[in-house]
Amino acid sequence: MTPGPERELIRRIWPFALPIAALAFALGTLAEGTDAGWSAAIAIVVVAGNFLAHGWSLALAATISPMVLYAVGLGGFVVRLGTIVAIIAVLDQQTWFVLPAFLAALVPSTIALLVFEMKLLSGRMQADLWTFSADRAPR
C-alpha cells in the first residue's frame, strides 16, 4: 500500500528541517548575532511544524470524506496562519527575539517549501482525486 500524497510529502521533506534550521541559525548568527540566529532557527521550526500539521490533518481528513477534506483544507489554513501570528506575537514580547531575522527565515523557507510541494505533486493529484461513477459521468 502506497502512502497518501500528504504522508509522502512529510516523509520527503521532514529530514531537511533540522539541517535547514541549523543553516538558518548560522546565517542569522553571522548576520546579527546569536539572538538573530535563534530567531531564524525558530522560524524554520515554525514552518516545519506548520507543514507537519498541514500534512497530518489533510491525511486524516482524506480518510473521512471529501467534505471533511475540503473543510480541513480551508479551515486548517486559517487556524495555522492564526497560530503563526500568535507565535510571532508571543515571541515579539521577548527581549532576545529579532523579528527581522525571524521573518527573513520564515518567508523564503515557506515559499521554498510550497515550490517543493508543488513540484512533487504536480501532475499526480488531479487524476488521482477525480473519479466518477458511470451514472454521474460528466458530459
> How does pLDDT run across 31-90, given as a tens digit for each residue?
999 999 999 999 999 999 999 998 899 888 888 888 888 899 889 889 999 999 999 999
Residue 128 lies in a domain: no
Residue 135 lies in a domain: no
> How many domains are there within the chain?
1
Residue 36 lies in a domain: yes
Pull the grid cell for residue 36. 538573530
Residue 69 lies in a domain: yes
Model pTM above 0.85: no
Please, are residues 29 and 22 in contact by the beta-carbon 8 Å criterion? no
Q: Containing domain of residue 70, as a range?
A: 5-114
Pull the grid cell for residue 139. 458530459
Cα–Cα distance between 126 and 118 in angstroms, integer?
13
